[in-house]
Structure 1
Amino acid sequence: MPPLPRNDPRQYDDLAGEWWRPGGHFEILHWLARARGALVPPARRPGAVLVDAGCGGGLLAPHVERLGYRHVGVDLRRSGLEQSAARGMTAVTGDVTALPLADGAADVVVAGEILEHVTDLPGAVAELCRVLRPGGLLVLDTVNATRVSRFVTVTLGERFGAAPVGIHDPALFVDPGELTTQCAKHGVRLQVRGLRPSVPGLIRWLLLSNGPASGPLGRMIPTRSTAVVYQGMGRKQEEMA
């Protein structure tokens, strides 16, 4: 069969076994999930809902399971949702540009490593903000639209096995200025900061990617530079009385 086009979501079916394989292709996604989870506060009320948009195999689950939320994962691919459900999440099939959820359904919306895969960024941001209740928290991370990020993520990443070949389309990478502008249109003032992998962890991963690993090999470290990967966090404006 011919290779799938870049950014084709069907690739995640072929890679379904990588979501939880220690040291596998998705190892760095575990580091990012841990960094996202660290930004999520404990639930403020009984029955609080956390919507995990583009949840994949449910990597965020262990980092928020004790915070008191009903964890709802939305994704296009059933292969990932089955793994999310196995980790206690409520799995919902859906597109981040048309979330099958009511307005204001979520106390927290998390969008981890998904915005660089959508072809309609304004539509995706509008949906993330629509399902967020006033005063709710938006947490995200994505890949910047820079030459450096294209070189690191695609050229180097694919060549050395740090990213599956064809998983990204660099034309969809997300400028943080555009993202903050889109969020502001929907009442969310987004603050961004850069992230980078720990160097020892990255070296261990590249050396042990096909060998044994007992747990995460590294972590993400906050940095001033947003040139490659960055986090965003902001609360939705409260409704006026």
Structure 2
Amino acid sequence: MRHTLHHVFVQGAFALVAACGLAAPAWAQTAPNAAEIARYQGLHAAAHSGDVARIAQLVAVRADLNVRDANGRTPVHVATFARQRGAIQALAKAGAQLELLDQDRYDAVTIASVADDEESLRLLLSLGASAKLVTSRYDGTALIAAAHLGHDGVVRQLITAGAPLDHVNNLHWTALIESIVLGNGGPRHQATLRALLAAGASTRLTDRQGNTPLAQAKAHGYAEMVQMLEKAGAR
């Protein structure tokens, strides 16, 4: 019986993911490719290479700090994809907006979160970037994306920064639900679930079919997650 339920949950989850055009392993982001990087000029080029001196020169002549490339990426987005933290800091200090979304509807915080880049995320949050934005074509959040991927350190940072714990995306999943239905039940997804429960994330919100997180964990055979949820009073 458990195997049948597990099969139903898994097939239903990934059928919904596929129907929405989502690749199963991770939310779709588009980092600059080699051809785009080769064409970069000005602040985009400086951001990608981490050339803080060049950024300062361009700031001095009033270059547009939020200029977009063909995919809607600002220099801050490019610097975040490239993990160029000096460039992120220089751009932010000069007044670049940290909450802008690229063409795929990702902000720098979500880009760093999906990349499991805790250092860049910590810097962005310290510079005033928000953990509360609704991002991606799935109307999700950085917290949902990180929970899906089991990036537990990122999840803890986002929770501390005030990320909405119970935001429901357009797949009708919360961060807590995604840590189960799109996770692998392993140590990092367990740590993610533990952090969400400790922060007070709801165990009562269900998926579109009315399945609770506890039912989902049981159906997947994730015994450790079942124990955590039951200890938290989930039904």
TM-score, L = length of structure 2: 0.29
Larger radius of gyration: 2
Q: Which has the higher strand share?
A: 1
Greater RCO between the two (CA within 8 Å, min separation 6)?
Answer: 1
TM-score, L = length of structure 1: 0.29
